[in-house]
Amino acid sequence: MDQSTSAPNLRPDILAHYELGQEADRLSRRTGTGRLEFLRTKDLLSRTLPTPPALVLDVGGGSGVYAAWLAQQGYRVELVDPVPLHVEQAGRQPGVSARLGDARDLHDAADASVDVVLLLGPLYHLQEREERLAALGEARRVTRPGGIVVAATINRFSALHDSLAKGVYYTPERRVVIDAGTENGRHIPRPEGSDFTTAFFHAPEQIAEEFTEAGLGPSRQYGIEGAAWLMPNTATDLDDPERTEVLLAALRRTESVPSLLGASSHLLTVAERG
């Protein structure tokens, strides 16, 4: 593991959330929507990335779940994350080199030095537009011309839909937090609550505009989970290989239908670096 000594400027509550260590198995738990997110993101990446052994910089790569999978596919993978626990966990994955760093300032990566930048998480936590543009600008800078920038965002109405599906929207204290987040995208959790951590929820057109502003246009957009993450049977359907294939095929067919993009929990935005 290669750890930079510079401490990234991460909000203490975001650091505390990730220090709970929930990322390592979030995408493989049988309950919840992480398994669908993981299957679909891998499916989309498989159809989007250049072939191995392209060099992938996984910015905000967490504990290295995607990085490990990419390394198994033959990609060369470097991971950057501001949470020391994540860097330690990711650095243990075969074929993954991990270091501390921040999406807004990838100072130890040279211009045009990688084939792919993944931002599968940092934009969830940057509430200011200038910070998000800085992260996208850095992704553009370090990607070679013709390379690919891929960013995941949390959709603006995900928390509303999730809380309705789970019934917690009917709790007034939760509803206040959720309604505020749907207004302007800024999710500000109650200090004593269990409302995720400080986050930003994008409208699909907003992240497309930010890509363009950062010099990453035109972009393509894909709903990662579509509306299937809200269906009560999806988690158990994923235990059945035949149903899983049918579900994945349906989501592939509908992944870029404009009227469905915002129904997904997460959105993937992809652009070629010009």
Ligand X SMILES: C[S@@+](CC[C@H](N)C(=O)[O-])C[C@H]1O[C@@H](n2cnc3c(N)ncnc32)[C@H](O)[C@@H]1O
Q: How many residues bind ligand X (CB under 6 A)?
A: 23
Which residues, including other chains, have CB under 8 Å from residue 91's CB and lie 6 or more apart? 1, 2, 3, 64, 79, 97, 98
**Footprint (CB under 6 A) of ligand X, residues 3-42:** 10, 14, 18, 23, 27
18, 265, 21, 15: which is closest to 152 by C-alpha? 265
233, 231, 230, 225: which is closest to 255 by C-alpha? 225
Nearer to ligand X, 62 or 91 (CB): 62
Binding residue (CB under 6 A) for ligand X from 44, 45, 61, 161: 61
Tell whether residue 62 is a contact of ligand X (CB under 6 A). yes
Nearer to ligand X, 82 or 147 (CB): 82
Would you call the peptide bond into 218 cis, given omega within 30 degrees of 0 as the criterion? yes
Q: Which stretch binds ligand X (CB under 6 A): 92-100, 101-109, 203-211, 236-244?
A: 101-109
Tell whether residue 120 is a contact of ligand X (CB under 6 A). yes
| Per-residue burial over 98-124, b = 16 or more CB atoms within 10 Å of its CB, e = otherwise | bbbbbbbebeebeeeebbbbbbbbbbb
Q: What are 187's strand-pairing partners? A: 199
Q: What is the smallest separation between the CB atom of 32 and ligand X, expressed in angstroms?
A: 13
Binding residue (CB under 6 A) for ligand X from 49, 82, 109, 247: 82
Cβ atoms of residues 142 and 107 within 8 Å: no
The interface mask with ligand X, positions 122-161, x = CB under 6 A, is x-xx------------------------------------
Q: Kindly tell me the burial class for residue 20, based on how many C-beta atoms sit within 10 Å of its own C-beta (0-12, 13-18, 19 or more).
A: exposed
Tell whether residue 83 is a contact of ligand X (CB under 6 A). yes
The CA-CA-CA angle for residues 19, 90, 145, to 5°, reads 115
Binding residue (CB under 6 A) for ligand X from 39, 99, 114, 121: 121
Tell whether residue 211 is a contact of ligand X (CB under 6 A). no
Tell whether residue 60 is a contact of ligand X (CB under 6 A). yes
Q: Which stretch binds ligand X (CB under 6 A): 119-127, 156-164, 194-202, 252-260?
A: 119-127
Q: What is the smallest separation between the CB atom of 23 and ligand X, expressed in angstroms?
A: 6
Q: Give dist(CA 196, CA 75) in Å, integer.
A: 32
Nearer to ligand X, 37 or 255 (CB): 37
Q: Kindly tell me the burial class for residue 274, based on how many C-beta atoms sit within 10 Å of its own C-beta (0-12, 13-18, 19 or more).
A: exposed
- Residues at the site binding ligand X, with contacts judged by CB under 6 A: 10, 14, 18, 23, 27, 59-62, 65-66, 81-83, 86, 102-104, 120-122, 124-125
